[in-house]
Structure 1
Amino acid sequence: MKLLCGITLFLSIAVAYYIYIPLPGQISEPWKLMVLDATFRGVVWMGDVAHSVGLSHSVRVINFAVVSFESVVPATYNEIWVEDTLFDGVHVRIYHPPGKKEGHLRRAVVFIHGGGWSLGAPKLGSYDSLCGQMSADLDAVVVTVDYRMAPDVHFPVQYEDCVQAAKHFLKPETLAQYLVDPERVAVCGDSAGGNLAAAVAQRIGIDNSISVKFKLQVLIYPVLQALDFNTASYQQNQNVPILYRKLMARFWLEYLGADPDLIHSILINNHTAQDQNHMSLNRSKLDWTTLLPKRMIKHYKPVIPVTGSSNILKDVPALLDARAAPLLADEEVLRMAPRAYVLTGEHDVLRDDGIMYARRLELAGVPVTNDHYEDGFHGCVSFAFWPCFFSVGIRAVQNYIAWLEENL
């Protein structure tokens, strides 16, 4: 009996030690987040082990776990008719609200899911519930894009899939088929989906062959650049779950089909050192010392090595491609983008990406609403549904849907 008690005590201490991590005092429901993060860290570790012994790509293992979890999460919407179809060869799911009325045109939202361009189940779990809720609350047609993901494909495939689906939906005949008002269509995405939504909005905005444009763009803690992994928020939140700084760098390298061994160089900004001539035209576009408010800069200083790795930007040119990194778009492109809602969380490595983009849009003359959550963390919107309820996630979903209700 004493041995059993001793083993139980030891295991309890070991589990508690693994789960506990120091978190900022303001963050939403810290102990719940610790348990969630411990689970995710375990999945990432299993993926890395499987990858190292040659059993499977780490991303496949992580995505298998994500899809398995999402598959047991029940849909939370009622009376929404769901249709799976193809838009110009791209898989999409369409959510139709009930009660069609003759001659009544609805608004619409094109939603692009996150997950580091490599994870996620848009037709299951939290994303399915989110799109169903948007359709019901807004009385809107919602289209979620099931784009192809890494490691099967890399940039620009994910981007092109989303552009193709958006262009197909924006055709006057397609909008008429789904009884959608062409003046009331928005594009929305979270995290990597926010990246794709911003890039798609830019592409549609400057494409003169497309007669119908997006009225709004909703970017939920978007990832928008891979040239500076030492912004104030990357420094402040590098060890805050669930998106660690190193993990975000891994997602970027996988998305761009780059050598994963580059991770150490890009984390210390060797690819954007002072001797990198390729960077001269882009530094001002992500100069967070001027684009961020002082309260967010705090005591953090830019990390710009004097000398760096000269081959990184040559070997991975997509790092400088605005289709992959929308924050790098020129002002004339931003000027054509639709009105924006940008949701950011204080305890998120991507906080500054979103705030810098909001500021650049404002400077280009685009109206922007920046909804910032002092207790927010990355991924919180996905945790507004059973079984992972977080108060900040519930508030964030309610608020951005309310903004769409008012402005779309």
Structure 2
Amino acid sequence: MRTAPALLFLLTAVLAYYVYIPLPNTVSEPWKLRVVDALLRGVMILGNLAHDLGLSHRIYVLNFAVNRFEVQGPRSSKAVLVTDTAFAGVQVRVFESTRRKEGELKRAVIYLHGGGWALGSARMRSYDSLCRRMAEDLKGVVVSIDYRLAPEARFPEQYNDALRASRYFLQPRVLARYSVEPSRVGVSGDSAGGNLAAAVAQQVATDSSSPSKFKVQALIYPVLQALDFNTPSYQQNQNVPILYRPLMAHFWLEYLDGDLSFIQPLLANKHTALDVYWTAQGRAKVNWTQLLPASFRKHYKPVAPAHGLAQVVEEVPALLDPRAAPLLAERDVLARLPRTYILTCEHDVLRDDGLMYGRRLEEAAVSVTHDHYEDGFHGCMVFAFWPAYSSVGQRTVENYIRWLDDNL
């Protein structure tokens, strides 16, 4: 009988040790983040084990867990009609507000979910809840695009899906079908979805054949470049969940169909070392010593090895493609972009991607609203919904939708 309490104590101690990780003292509601991170790490461990044993790709295991607990069918309510359909062969979930006057045209947002181009779905509970609330609060239409995922799809397929579905929706006949005002359509996304939203916005802005243009773009902690994995935010937050620094490099290589042995060279900036060919003009686009305010540069120093590994860029040329890395777009492309909202979080490796993009847009005379959360972390917006409610999650959603309401 005495062994049972001892075993219970031991198991509790082991569980506490596994769940607990040190976090900055300014992170919002740290225990909720620790629990979610522990669950994700557990699934990733299982995924890596299955992958190493040749049973399944690690990403399939992650997506199985996500789909098992998060994906749900379209559920309409009195305020929002929800339907699953396809735009130009791309699966989408459409949320339509039912609260409009007869003959009144609505606003619309095209939304792209996050997940490292490999995880997630427009049908996940968190994204369903977000888009449902957007449609209701904006009294508009939200099109959530279910683009294909790695490893089945690699760059540029995710981008192509996002662009094809967006172009389809922007057709006058389709906008008319959903009673949308052509001049009041925006594009938005979070994390990898923010990457796709930014890339699609650039293409639509420069496409003379597009009958409609986006009025706004709203980017939520977007990932925008893979040339410097040692920006101040990468150095500061490399061990902060949910998006660890090596995991971001892993996602990039999965997306761009690169060899995973390149993870360590990427993390060491070997692919952009001083002896690797890379123009001064190109380097300036990711030069955080010039693009970041001093308050974000802090005490960090650039990591620029004298000798590198040119093989990385030679075998993964998409690292330099603005469709994959929108921060690398030329200034004349940026100048055509619409009014922009960028949300960043202090405790996020991608913080500086958003800050640098905002600065480059401002230099191109684009109006930019920067919304920064000192207690925020990557993925915090989905913490606005059950079961992981958090203060910072609720604030990000409220301020994001308020900006859309004021500017769309």
TM-score bracket for the superposition, by shorter chain length: over 0.9
- The amino acid across from 1:400 in the alignment is Y
Q: 1:394 to 1:73 in 2, by over 3 A?
A: farther
The reply to whether residue 155 of structure 1 matches residue 173 of structure 2 is no
Residue 179 of structure 2 corresponds to 179
The reply to whether residue 126 of structure 1 matches residue 126 of structure 2 is yes
- 1:73 deviates by 11
- 1:67 deviates by 1.6
Q: 1:118 to 1:207 in 2, by over 3 A?
A: same
Does structure 1 retain, via aligned residues, the 8 Å contact 2:109–2:188? yes
Residue 31 of structure 1 corresponds to 31
Residue 372 of structure 1 corresponds to 372
Residue 325 of structure 1 corresponds to 325
Residue 306 of structure 1 corresponds to 306
CA distance in 2, matches of 1:85, 1:165: 11
The reply to whether residue 337 of structure 1 matches residue 322 of structure 2 is no
Residue 275 of structure 1 corresponds to 275
Secondary structure of 2:285's partner? helix
Does structure 1 retain, via aligned residues, the 8 Å contact 2:154–2:254? yes
Does structure 1 retain, via aligned residues, the 8 Å contact 2:71–2:123? no
Secondary structure of 1:374's partner? strand
Secondary structure of 1:341's partner? strand
- 1:90 deviates by 1.1
- 1:330-357 alpha-carbon deviations (Å, 9 max, x no partner): 0001001111000000000000000100
Residue 191 of structure 2 corresponds to 191
Count of paired positions? 408
Aligned counterparts, 1:64-103, within 5 A: 64-71=64-71, 78-103=78-103
- The amino acid across from 1:392 in the alignment is V
- The amino acid across from 1:209 in the alignment is S
Secondary structure of 1:278's partner? coil
Residue 407 of structure 1 corresponds to 407
Residue 167 of structure 2 corresponds to 167
Secondary structure of 2:229's partner? coil
- 1:277-309 alpha-carbon deviations (Å, 9 max, x no partner): 135331100111111111111111010100100
- 1:68 deviates by 1.5
Secondary structure of 1:235's partner? helix
Does structure 2 retain, via aligned residues, the 8 Å contact 1:70–1:121? no
Residue 110 of structure 2 corresponds to 110
Residue 394 of structure 1 corresponds to 394
Q: Structure 1: which 4+ aligned runs deviate by more than 6 Å?
A: 72-77
TM-score (norm 1): 0.98
- 1:72 deviates by 6.9
The reply to whether residue 355 of structure 1 matches residue 362 of structure 2 is no
CA distance in 1, matches of 2:72, 2:244: 26
TM-score (norm 2): 0.98
- 1:255 deviates by 0.3
CA distance in 1, matches of 2:186, 2:81: 20
Secondary structure of 1:248's partner? helix
Does structure 2 retain, via aligned residues, the 8 Å contact 1:278–1:313? no
- The amino acid across from 1:141 in the alignment is V
* Sequence identity percentage: 58
Residue 385 of structure 2 corresponds to 385
- 1:129 deviates by 0.7
Q: 1:30 to 1:317 in 2, by over 3 A?
A: same
Residue 231 of structure 1 corresponds to 231
CA distance in 1, matches of 2:74, 2:37: 22
Residue 52 of structure 1 corresponds to 52
- The amino acid across from 1:87 in the alignment is F
CA distance in 1, matches of 2:134, 2:67: 22
- 1:130-165 alpha-carbon deviations (Å, 9 max, x no partner): 100000000011101111110111000000111011
- The amino acid across from 1:25 in the alignment is N
Does structure 1 retain, via aligned residues, the 8 Å contact 2:340–2:368? yes
Consecutive unaligned residues in structure 2, runs of 5 or more: none
- The amino acid across from 2:182 in the alignment is P
Does structure 2 retain, via aligned residues, the 8 Å contact 1:383–1:390? yes
- 1:86 deviates by 1.5
Secondary structure of 2:240's partner? coil
Q: 1:75 to 1:84 in 2, by over 3 A?
A: closer
Does structure 2 retain, via aligned residues, the 8 Å contact 1:155–1:324? yes
Residue 7 of structure 1 corresponds to 7
Secondary structure of 1:205's partner? helix
Does structure 2 retain, via aligned residues, the 8 Å contact 1:77–1:129? no
Residue 137 of structure 1 corresponds to 137
Secondary structure of 1:281's partner? helix
Does structure 2 retain, via aligned residues, the 8 Å contact 1:73–1:126? no
CA distance in 2, matches of 1:268, 1:81: 48
CA distance in 1, matches of 2:124, 2:238: 29
CA distance in 2, matches of 1:160, 1:17: 44
Does structure 2 retain, via aligned residues, the 8 Å contact 1:74–1:125? no
- 1:211 deviates by 2.3
- The amino acid across from 1:344 in the alignment is T
Does structure 2 retain, via aligned residues, the 8 Å contact 1:84–1:94? yes
Secondary structure of 2:116's partner? coil
Q: 1:133 to 1:399 in 2, by over 3 A?
A: same
